Structure 1
């Protein structure tokens, strides 16, 4: 991807800052710089940047269970924060920021300092092609002195104690980032998506998992199942009770925080209380998959037989059935119950198993 050119700056070198990334830190560090400049700051402390990195990683790790890398310190911080803070996986960024500002947990502080050992210096390595192995083994003060004397760098560094050290973005880079903020953020996210996909090769929808969970498209799905409930009783697959039309909420059988989509084959009606109880867990396959098949097949049959339900289904399909292959396999006319269940199992089982391998826990209604 070509970045916007500049007559003053070496943007070709900027485009190479993510070329050598065995870990996630450069991506999150630069993204934190972009956000600070976007909010009008040219000077920022290590502590502020690390806190922004934690906030940006929070949803990926806590909500979506993404792996940032082997022994990744940023991931460890998020997991520790989730353990001690009481913050929810979908917590607002402001609340995470406020908690971090007051957090004195020794383990988190130690790991935050670890993150500052290399990335503030290594991010700008492409601007220093002359730097060799010996250069990176010298003292931090010597490295900083060299960076601060070299022209063309993105920022200078003012060392203090630990997280109190600061960086100062050069004015010409502030202008460039401000003018091209959206492009640079999109470019960074593009590189982050590619990195995360490599670390999480079986996980779908990586691009949807960089930011807090979005509003889900379930209105037509609710109308579809409510329409069905008016002509055919809907039995909740989790507690066996009949669901009234106004009781219906929609559950993602494989949690939304894993699939990051609202595909019809993964959606099933349940009550609000059960939906809340299940949360981001996987229903135990042996206990519930057959019941899921029964409910979805009954709905499928009504779609074939009832004109009104067919119309509701088609409205759903426009938003909630985005794979033509799945539509042909699962919703084509003429399937019997065994064929339908087999197709649904083949579609869902790999997704279910992948979610379980990523650490999503199993759940059963009690």
Structure 2
């Protein structure tokens, strides 16, 4: 992916900012700057930019459990801030920025200020040697080699030569940044699916209307089914469509990972992982019944295609239990390794988990 060219600006130096990256801070620093420039700002508080770095990465770390690497200071900062500020894991970016920008908590201020030691001047390393902080400040303030901003004690000032370019190309620049960030994070999370869609908080999740119709056909044919977690009886119109492996990990709504579940349990389960020894067999049995019923009752249902990546010969064969387990088990293991918690105790008939 190439950046838009402009004859009077060293665009190649901007692209080079993301070469040989060893941490996420450059990506989120640049995204924070672009966001402020889009609002017309030319003199921007460092503290506000540091708050935006946290806000931009908050959902990726806290909801999707994507790892930035053990040594990444931004992920460590998010973990510290979660323990000191009353912010939920799904807080909006605007709410996070507002709270962190105005926070009087000394721990939060110290955590944000930590980035000042490395981030603002080192981002400019493609324009000049930025290893010496005082000298880097001096070079930046004279816009050496036409660098994009000058660094001062508590703020940065956008180079007028760059301001219009950054404003006019904000969308492309953010896409370029996210693309490079996705490539970087994939190396840190090689087995985690769909990294690009875990970088931005989706305001509204897609509804599961088609998936519910799928299960309505199955439940309607059987009369009712048992919830695999609570053993309560589920009937058409009185169940939740539940992700067996949490959406926060797989980030898709494919029908092979969706089952009907007790509505109260579904709310309490949140993004907990199922216990395979207890839950896989009834999960598979229900999926297997569903496939056979839909193949008979609604053979043209497009959701049957969701199974084809796992079972290419689905049209002529039933689901293979061992193969299904071999697909699910590694995902559960990886999700657990990335910080997703398991349901903490076995479910009994008529009993709901409160984890």
TM-score by length of 1: 0.89
* Cα distance in 2 between the residues matched to 1:108 and 1:73: 14
Root mean square deviation, CA, Å: 1.8
Q: CA deviation at 1:179?
A: 1.2
In structure 1, the residue matched to 2:282 is: 291
| Greater Cα shift, 81-90 or 176-185 | 81-90
Q: Deviations over 1:46-101 (max 9, x none)?
A: 11101110001101100000111222221122122323334222222222123213
In structure 2, the residue matched to 1:68 is: 68
* Cα distance in 2 between the residues matched to 1:219 and 1:81: 37
In structure 2, the residue matched to 1:348 is: 328
* Cα distance in 2 between the residues matched to 1:101 and 1:110: 12
In structure 1, the residue matched to 2:117 is: 117
Q: Deviations over 1:112-140 (max 9, x none)?
A: 11111111111111111xx2xxx62x4x3
In structure 2, the residue matched to 1:224 is: 214
Q: Deviations over 1:250-289 (max 9, x none)?
A: 1111111111111111111112211111001101111111
In structure 2, the residue matched to 1:241 is: 232
* Cα distance in 1 between the residues matched to 2:275 and 2:200: 28
* Cα distance in 2 between the residues matched to 1:127 and 1:333: 62
Q: Superposed, which structure 2 residues align to 1:197-208 within 5 Å?
A: 197-208=186-197
Aligned residues: 343
| Greater Cα shift, 52-61 or 172-181 | 172-181
Is the 2:127–2:145 contact (alpha carbons within 8 Å) kept by the matching residues of 1? no
State which of 161, 168, 174 in structure 1 corresponds to 2:157.
168
| Greater Cα shift, 296-305 or 286-295 | 296-305
In structure 2, the residue matched to 1:162 is: none
Where does structure 1 lack aligned partners over 5 or more consecutive residues?
A: 160-164
* Cα distance in 2 between the residues matched to 1:216 and 1:205: 16
Q: CA deviation at 1:151?
A: 4.1
Is the 1:304–1:333 contact (alpha carbons within 8 Å) kept by the matching residues of 2? no
In structure 2, the residue matched to 1:315 is: 302
Q: Superposed, which structure 2 residues align to 1:43-54 within 5 Å?
A: 43-54=43-54
Secondary structure of 1:95's counterpart equals helix
Secondary structure of 1:222's counterpart equals helix
In structure 1, the residue matched to 2:104 is: 104
* Cα distance in 1 between the residues matched to 2:315 and 2:90: 37
Q: Superposed, which structure 2 residues align to 1:183-222 within 5 Å?
A: 183-213=172-202, 214-222=204-212
Secondary structure of 2:82's counterpart equals helix
Q: Deviations over 1:116-174 (max 9, x none)?
A: 1111111111111xx2xxx62x4x33331122122401001222xxxxx1001112211
Is the 1:249–1:269 contact (alpha carbons within 8 Å) kept by the matching residues of 2? yes
The answer to whether 1:325 aligns with 2:316 is no
| Greater Cα shift, 202-211 or 18-27 | 18-27
* Cα distance in 2 between the residues matched to 1:332 and 1:342: 18
* Cα distance in 2 between the residues matched to 1:271 and 1:212: 27
Where does structure 2 lack aligned partners over 5 or more consecutive residues?
A: 348-352
* Cα distance in 2 between the residues matched to 1:123 and 1:355: 33
Q: CA deviation at 1:326?
A: 1.9
* Cα distance in 1 between the residues matched to 2:333 and 2:216: 30
Is the 1:217–1:262 contact (alpha carbons within 8 Å) kept by the matching residues of 2? no
Is the 1:220–1:315 contact (alpha carbons within 8 Å) kept by the matching residues of 2? no
Could you say which structure has the higher helix fraction? Answer: 1
* Cα distance in 2 between the residues matched to 1:113 and 1:94: 20
Is the 2:291–2:304 contact (alpha carbons within 8 Å) kept by the matching residues of 1? no
Is the 1:222–1:248 contact (alpha carbons within 8 Å) kept by the matching residues of 2? no
State which of 254, 272, 278 in structure 2 corresponds to 1:281.
272
Is the 2:211–2:255 contact (alpha carbons within 8 Å) kept by the matching residues of 1? yes
